Structure 1
Amino acid sequence: MRTIQTSRRALLSGGGAVVLASAAVAAPVAIMQKVNPDAELLALDRELSSIRQRLHEMPSEDDPDFAHPMWAEKDALEDRMLRIQPQTGAGIAAFLRIVYDHSADLMRSADGPPADCDWSTKMLWTAIQAAERMASA
């Protein structure tokens, strides 16, 4: 049986290698954390949110048949977003907000569903909030 003798010098030099290896791995991870993998998706979601807000504020008399050009712009943004695979909680929340918008005939409020809405809309809103919390954690 072979025994291995370990000196303080050997332990310290081995520990130094571990520290250097850890630093080499940690540097790219820190850089990647600064770049959000859903950056493009979230930028599109911000544009969509702006359009959604303007449509929500528009009097129904100004667009009785939903033919305002912003509807086509909203549809195009949603189509672009659906081609991107979400990779974070924030990206999933962006997708869920699209589903939430289409969950009823009327456009939903960004503040949440009305108290008298169906359970599936409430559940969807809860999922959006959960995904947003995951993103901020």
Structure 2
Amino acid sequence: MRTFRIGRFLNDVDKFARDKRGLNITINIIQMLFLIIDEKYDDVLDKLAALKQYNFRYLKRPEYARSSNFIKMLLKIPEANYEPDLIRSKAAKFYDNLVSHTSDFSEQSMSIEIIPYEQLWKEILSIFEK
């Protein structure tokens, strides 16, 4: 079995970049996670700027409330200087909004949230707690 390579993965999913909702949200979040794991914080800032604009342009409809709130939570990471407790407090409002919009686990929802955002948020915070 081949080893996983993020660059190759991102090249293979290029066709989804034209999809301005759905899988594109997932792809952008995956990119963000790898940048955080690799501690490429300058690239994290660039990706967050793009996600902020993406959120503003494409995720206004109510069915994207969870994704929109999750992106807003991600935006709080550098504002909190990558400190997990501060991230939690700055993102609390958006986390509460996320939880209040429970996922319906429809096919579209599952394609966007492969891992539920609540669980993914816990995993992201655990990265900064190390």
Q: Whose helix fraction is larger, Structure 1's or Structure 2's?
A: 2
Q: Which has the larger radius of gyration?
A: 1
Q: Which bin holds the TM-score, normalised by the shorter protein? A: 0.3 to 0.5
TM-score (norm 2): 0.47
Give the TM-score normalised by the residue count of structure 1: 0.45
